[in-house]
A and B are shown apart, each in its own frame.
Chain A
Amino acid sequence: MDMTFAPDPLALLVIGALGLIVVGAAGLAFGRHLFRLVLALGLAEAGANLLLVIAGYRWDAVAPILTGSAPAAMVDPVPQALVLTAIVIGVGVQALAVALLVRVKLAYGTLDLAELKALVERDIRAAAGIGEPDSAQAPATLPGPAGLIGERP
């Protein structure tokens, strides 16, 4: 694939697919609302699936369905079968994610990731019996107390 500006439709499709992935990733990176993150994931997944379909696509061929007489040029069937599987898996994962979101909303009453992080951090600390974040930031010091230096008070 070269960088000529000729309208190579395949290249455009590849750019589009990768663009979808980038947009999805950006959504995942910048989004703070969990449901939006799930949507962004779906978007990016569409991009990946599209990429896979393009990988086996042939511009001037027919659909890979056996009709008795073998056609001259068929679209590669393997990627299409793969994409079907991938779509099914993707849907399953998204459904699971949404189900989990419901549980999260029930547990914490919010879907804002930043708030949730703080709440979970607090929960973990409380369960472990660790103090406030301030004390967690205290360095795990190499040098011991002054007495270790050898000059005892």
Chain B
Amino acid sequence: MNALVLPVVLPLLTAFLLQPAGRLSAALARWAGPAVLLVCAGLLVQIALLTGGEPVTAAIGGFAPPVGIVFYADALALLMAIAVPVSALLLWPRAEAGEAGVRQSALMLLLVGSGTGMALSGDLFNLYVFYELLTVASFGLASATGTGRAYVATVRYVLVSGFGSLIALAGIALLYAQTGSLNLAQLADLAPERLANPLGLAAFACLLIGFGVKAELFPVNNWVPDLYACAGKPISALLAGVVSKLAVLVLLRLTVLVFDSPEAREMLMVLGLAGLVTGELAAWRARDLPRLLAYSSIGQLGLLFVALSLPGPAGLAAALAVALHHLLVKPALFMLAERWHGSLDKLAGAGRASPLAAGLFTLFALSLVGVPPLPGFWAKLLVLLELARGAGPFDLTALALVLAVTVVEAHYLFRLVGILYSPGEFRDRHSPRALAVAGLGGAVLVAAMLTLPAVSDALAGLASQAADTAAYRTLTLGGGL
């Protein structure tokens, strides 16, 4: 299955060729990026159709793992891999003339290539390298608006990310010192005897903090609000949407395969709860929409980490439901914030000016709060049920916090809905593209609601496949183990 490598290699290659190509023809530079993304998405869909969701592996360069590096594509990885080029296509930066436009296209391609690589990699160091590539691409994209504040926000982002990366690197070093391998499958084999100790936990903590930067994990997420307030909204949408989910996917693989211990789960839950509570409370006091969304994104990802800390396929299904829901809703909301970027109080009248946008915002708000029968409710219900299953004082505290924070969330979201629909002076309308992206998100949301049984079956299948560590190991390392 070496076709699996193409969606990673093609964008990277194009990214580097784009600059010289731009000298030859402006049209080529402009259309090459989207075209390549289309091809990548098509390839990945084809692979998904061919395999029918069964996991496949590809050893790069023909070196067999654990020596060689490996790609592992199960349904979840493919889904995330498809989400990367598709999101990038939908959120492709507005075409700028000349150098700047070419540079942005190249950075987007870099981001897509490395993001796809992150989704598919089965090797920790590869993951780290793709993660770094993606980070660098996102630096460039975040500062692309060219305003002073965007630069300052990006510098803060660079510092936190840089520090996160080196902590992750330290974690990788600890892991390697303990096991002598970085292949996830082999790590899964070695984990019970080599990593069930404080040092293993320390390695997990390092990796958690490191990859947590992109996933907006609690202590390393204070770059989020300013960056989302200053960067272009499509970039914020991309970062909050698919990029954060890629980081979550890495952490998911790590928790499922390597660090499947109660202590690691507790750590995830505590940090998740801290993010949930601080994020939602900060959003409650936010005074402009981009920062409100940024804080609420921190809160939602906090909920995701709480879900990720739940054991078993049921817990994993809950986490995936929350992740996919957020992946769908948050980018759409950021696209709506493109024109609604001012003070919340000044948005009065926006509902009259663009009824579709206000309606979509209300729909997303309802789903985020978790109003049945919207998908957000079922995702939250799964999390709550799993928390109640644990029934320890710790789980019950988490349960109470998740429920309490939902009230706060409902209050600030519907305070805003109320403002949108009250009479006022606001007249800005959305660009057709922003509306189209948000509308697509809304349509998918409603479709998922209408086909809930099918969606839930698919979700359960996805979760049980992702939770199947034995299959991962045998497939990656061959039948010999």
Q: Which A residues have a C-beta under 8 Å from some C-beta of B? A: 18, 21, 24-25, 28, 34, 37-38, 41, 44-45, 47-49, 51-52, 54-56, 76, 78-79, 82, 85-86, 89-90, 92-94, 96-97, 100-101, 103-104, 107-108, 116-117, 119-120, 123-124, 127-130, 136, 139-140, 142
Contact = CB atoms under 8 A, between A and B. Distances in A.
Nearest to B225: A124
Interface in B174-212: 174, 176-177, 180, 182
Nearest to B169: A48
A123 B341 CA distance: 13
18 contacts: A41-B162, A41-B163, A41-B166, A44-B163, A48-B173, A55-B177, A76-B180, A82-B172, A90-B166, A93-B161, A94-B162, A96-B140, A97-B155, A100-B151, A120-B153, A123-B147, A124-B288, A136-B285
Given A25-B163, A47-B166, A54-B173, A120 B341 contact: no
Interface of B: 125, 128-129, 132, 135-136, 139-140, 143, 147-149, 151-155, 158-159, 161-163, 165-167, 169-170, 172-174, 176-177, 180, 182, 226, 229-230, 284-285, 287-288, 291, 341-343, 346, 411-412, 415
B357 to A, nearest CB: 18
B152 A54 contact: no
A interface majority secondary structure: helix
Contact of A124 (B154, B163, B226): B226
B229 A124 contact: yes
A54 B177 contact: yes
Most chain B beta-carbon neighbours within 10 Å: one of A108, A139, A140: A140
Given A45-B162, A130-B287, A104 B155 contact: yes
A78 B284 CA distance: 48
A90 to B, nearest CB: 8
Nearest to A104: B151
Contacts of A119: 148-149, 152
Contacts of A107: 147-148, 151-152
A98 to B, nearest CB: 10
Given A48-B170, A93-B161, A129-B346, 18 more contacts: A25-B163, A51-B174, A52-B169, A52-B173, A85-B125, A90-B166, A92-B136, A96-B158, A97-B159, A100-B151, A107-B147, A116-B152, A119-B148, A123-B149, A124-B149, A127-B342, A140-B285, A140-B412
B226 A52 contact: no
* 7 shortest interchain CB distances as A-B pairs: A107-B148, A55-B177, A48-B166, A52-B173, A128-B288, A51-B173, A48-B169
A95 to B, nearest CB: 10
Contacts of B226: 120, 124
A68 B170 CA distance: 33
Contact of B341 (A18, A117, A127): A127
